[in-house]
Amino acid sequence: MSNQAKPSRRGVKGHPKSGPSIGDVARLAGVSAQTVSRVSTGADPVRPETKERVLDAMRELGYTPNHAARALRRGNFRSIGLIAHQVIRTGESKTIEAVIEAARREGYSVSLVDVETPSSSDVSDAVQQLNHQAIDGLIIIRAETATPTALALPPTLPVAVSDSRFIGHHPAIGADQAGGSRAAVQHLLDLGHKTVHHLAGPDDSGPADLRATAWRQTLEEAGRKVPAILRGSWSADSGYELGKLLAKRKDVTAVFAANDEMACGLIHALHQAGRAVPQDVSVVGFDDIDLAEHFWPPLTTVRQQFQQIGNELVELILRQLRQRAPLTDFHGTVAAPLIVRESTAAPRKRR
Amino acid sequence: MSNQAKPSRRGVKGHPKSGPSIGDVARLAGVSAQTVSRVSTGADPVRPETKERVLDAMRELGYTPNHAARALRRGNFRSIGLIAHQVIRTGESKTIEAVIEAARREGYSVSLVDVETPSSSDVSDAVQQLNHQAIDGLIIIRAETATPTALALPPTLPVAVSDSRFIGHHPAIGADQAGGSRAAVQHLLDLGHKTVHHLAGPDDSGPADLRATAWRQTLEEAGRKVPAILRGSWSADSGYELGKLLAKRKDVTAVFAANDEMACGLIHALHQAGRAVPQDVSVVGFDDIDLAEHFWPPLTTVRQQFQQIGNELVELILRQLRQRAPLTDFHGTVAAPLIVRESTAAPRKRR
DNA sequence: CCCGACTCTGTTCACGTAAACATTCCTGGT
DNA sequence: ACCAGGAATGTTTACGTGAACAGAGTCGGG
C-alpha cells in the first residue's frame, strides 16, 4: 500500500504548470489524439460530425495548442526577431510598425528587442537574448557600430539589416541617404544660399555619417565653403542647444539637420532668438515624421519611406526562409525624396 | 542487408531543418546529454575540465540550444505578449519601450502585435495571433472597445492592461486621465478664459472619453458654458483640419487638445490663420511627447508618465507569474501632472 | 459481385530538452 | 583499511505535437 496510482492530476514528474493537452481533448471527444491535431491544424479532412465533437471538447476543457510543442515538432517558431535602437525615436518606429504588420500578414509575430545604445556589446546582448532559437529570422535596424562578426549569430539564421555597416555580410535594404542629403543641400544652394551648415547625428552612427559625407561632397562639388560640422545626438534637445549657438551667428542662413527632431529643436532656438524661419534662416530636416508637416513653419525635409523598408526587410527574411539559403549579396536601396514645404526660402537680400 | 543504419544525416522522418542537438554535442565531447544540458543551463555543478570539453564541442558544432524544446520541457517561454494600438503614435511608444526594457531586465522578451484599430475584433485577432501559448503573460495597451469576454483568453494566462475598459476584469495600471485633464482646464480658467474648447480623441477611445468627461465636468463645476465638442482622430492632420474651423471663430480663446499631436496640428492652423499662440488662443495638449517642449511655442501639456506605466505593467505580469494566480482586483493610477510652458496665457483684453 | 480508389481515423514514433533517480568515484574520519 | 557522505556523471523518462504509415469503411465501375 505504497505506490498508489492516482488517476491523473498532472505535475507528478516535476513538470510545471500546463493546460489540457491534445490527449485530454481526444479522450473526452472519444477520438485519437491525431484527429484532434487534424482539427486543430485544419490540414487533413475530418468528418464534420467528428470535428464538432472535438471542438466541443476543446471548448469544454479550454484547450489551446501548446506553442512550444508545435514549434519543436515543426521546426519553426513563426516568429521574427527584431533588434532596434531607440524604439520611440523618429521614423524608425514606422519601420518597426511596417515590419510587424508585414510579418503578421505572413503569420509571423515579432519579438522586439530594444537596445539602448547601438554599440556592439548591446546588440550582441540582444542577440543573446533572442536566444538564438526562439526566432526563425532576425532583422536588425541600425546596429551602427556593431561588427557582424562580433555577434556570433547562428550560421543558419536568416538575417536582414537596415544598416549600412552590415552590407556585404547580410542582405540589406536602406534609404538612399546620400541621394536625399544631396537633394536637400542642393535645394538650399539653388535657393541662393552661399553655403549650408550641417547639424549632424552622433559620430558613431552610420546614417549620420552618410548624411554628413553627402552634405560635404555636395558643397565641395559646388565649390562652396564647408562650415564646421555640428554634432547632435538625434534628440530635439540637442538640436535646441546647438541651435542657440547657430542663432547668434548672422552668417548662418541655411541649415541641413540630420533628422526632424533636431530640426524642431533648432527652429525652436531660432524663434526664441528672434530669427525668422525661413526668412532669416532656412532649415531642412530628414525623415519626414508625421509631425513635420505641422511644425511652424511646416518643415522641408527628406522623406524616408520607412514603411517600404519595413516591408522589404520582412520580404528578405521570408525569401531566405523559403529558399533555405542565405542571401548575402543583396543590397537594395529605397529612394529618399525631398519634400519641400515652408521652412526654406531664398536668403534675405542684404548688402 | 536491408535495414541498413546510416550513421546519421537527419531529416529521415520528415522533421524539418534543425541544427546540432544536445546529443550531438554529447557524443563529440564524450559525455552524456545530461551533462551537456548542465553546462548549457549552468544549474548543476560540472568539473571544469569536463565543462571545457563540452564548450569546445559546442563551439565546433555551432550548437545553440533549441528554444522550443526548452520551452516545452520547462513549461514557460520567457516571453510576454504585448498588444498595442498604433505603435508609432504618441507617447504610447514610450510605454512600449519601457515594457520591453523592464521585461528584458527580468530575462523576458516581448512579442509585439500592433492592432490597426482598437476594435474588439482586431484585438481578438491579435490575441489569436499570439497563439495563446507562445507567451507567459499578456499586456494590452489601449484595447479601447474590446470587451474582455470577447477575447477568449486562456483562463490561466496572466494579463495586465493599461486601459480603463478592462478594469475589473484584469489588473490595470493607468494614468490619472481625469486629474490631468481637470488640471489642464482649470489652468486655463485660472488664467481668465471664459471657457475652454475641447479637441477630443475619437469617440470609441476610452482615454478620449475620460479626458472629455473631465473637461466637461470641470467647466460645469465652474459654472461655465460647455462648448460643442470637436472630434479628432489623434492625428496632427485631424487637429489641423479642426483647427482651421476653430481659427475662424474669434470667441475661441482657449483649447484643450486631447493629445500633443492634435495640439500641434491645431497650432499650425492657428498660425496659418494669423492667430497668435498664446496671445490670441491658448492651447494645452496631453501626453508631453519629447517634441512638445520644442514646438513653437513650447507646449503646455499634461505629462503621461509612460515609462512608469510600462514598468508597472511588467511588474503586474511577473507578480502573477510568481504567485501563480490571477490578480483581478488590482487597479493602480499614475499621476499625470500639468507641465506649464508657453502656449498658454491670459486672454487678450478686449472690450 | 468484386476490386480498386478514396476518405476518414488510429497507431507509432521522434523532435530536443531537463527533472528525477541511479551509479560511480573520490575524500576524509576513524 | 573501511565506510559514510558528498560530488560528478549517466540513465531513464515525459513534456505535447504532428509526420508517416496502417487499417477500416464506402462508393462506383466493370
pLDDT tens, B150-196?
566 777 789 898 876 666 678 989 899 999 999 999 999 999 999 99
> Is B77's CB within 8 Å of A97's CB?
no
Per residue in A223-256, pLDDT (tens digit) is 999 999 999 999 999 999 999 999 999 999 999 9
CB A195 within 8 A of CB A226: yes
User: Which phi and psi (to 5°) does residue A217 adopt?
Assistant: -65, -40
The distance of B351 to chain A (nearest Cα, Å) reads 30
> Is A261's CB within 8 Å of B324's CB?
no
Chain A positions in Cβ-Cβ contact with residue B69 (cut-off 8 Å): 68, 72
Stronger pLDDT, A201 or B328, i.e. the higher one: A201
| Nearest residue: Cα versus C1' of C14 | B13
Q: Residue A144 has what pLDDT?
A: 60
Percent of chain B with pLDDT over 90: 57
Stronger pLDDT, B81 or A204, i.e. the higher one: B81
pLDDT confidence bin for A167, thresholds 50/70/90: low
Alpha helices in chain A (DSSP H): 22-29, 33-41, 48-61, 67-74, 92-105, 120-129, 177-190, 206-221, 236-248, 260-272, 306-323
The reply to whether the CB atom of residue A47 sits less than 7 A from any atom in nucleic acid chain D is no
Distance CA B247, CA B269 (A): 7
Question: How deeply is B205 buried, as exposed, middle or buried, from its count of CB atoms within 10 A (0-12, 13-18, 19+)?
Answer: buried
pLDDT confidence bin for B272, thresholds 50/70/90: very high
Alpha helices in B79-171 (DSSP H): 92-105, 120-129
CA–C1' distance B73–D3 (Å)? 39
- Whether residue A105 is predicted with pLDDT greater than 90 in this model: the reply is no
Per residue in A288-325, pLDDT (tens digit) is 999 999 999 999 999 999 999 999 999 999 999 988 78
CB A156 within 8 A of CB A262: no
CB A279 within 8 A of CB A212: no
DSSP A170: B
Mean pLDDT of chain B: 86
Alpha helices in B42-176 (DSSP H): 48-61, 67-74, 92-105, 120-129
The reply to whether the CB atom of residue A349 sits less than 7 A from any atom in nucleic acid chain D is no
The reply to whether the CB atom of residue A41 sits less than 7 A from any atom in nucleic acid chain D is yes
- Mean pLDDT computed over A202-214: 91
> Is B324's CB within 8 Å of A17's CB?
yes
- Mean pLDDT computed over A128-157: 71
- Mean pLDDT computed over B57-83: 89
Distance CA B264, CA B244 (A): 12
Distance CA B278, CA B284 (A): 10
Which residue of B lies nearest to A91 if distances are taken between CA atoms? B88
Element holding B248 (H helix, E strand): helix B236-248
What number of other Cβ atoms are within 10 A of residue B55's Cβ?
16
Distance CA A192, CA A187 (A): 9
What number of other Cβ atoms are within 10 A of residue B104's Cβ?
19
Percent of chain A with pLDDT over 90: 57
pLDDT confidence bin for B144, thresholds 50/70/90: low
> Is B264's CB within 8 Å of A76's CB?
no
> Is B109's CB within 8 Å of A96's CB?
no
CB A341 within 8 A of CB A303: no
pLDDT confidence bin for B87, thresholds 50/70/90: low
What distances in angstroms separate CA A198 from CA A206, A237, A248, one per listed residue?
16, 16, 16
Of A129, A268, A291, nearest to B264 by CB-CB distance is A291
Of A86, A110, A294, nearest to B112 by CB-CB distance is A110
> Is B296's CB within 8 Å of A295's CB?
yes
Chain B positions in Cβ-Cβ contact with residue A265 (cut-off 8 Å): 294
pTM of the complete model: 0.87
Per residue in A330-340, pLDDT (tens digit) is 889 999 999 99
Which residue of B lies nearest to A130 if distances are taken between CA atoms? B109
Distance CA A201, CA A232 (A): 5
- Mean pLDDT computed over B315-320: 94
- Protein-covered nucleotides of chain C (CB closer than 7 Å) are 7-20
The reply to whether the CB atom of residue B131 sits less than 7 A from any atom in nucleic acid chain D is no
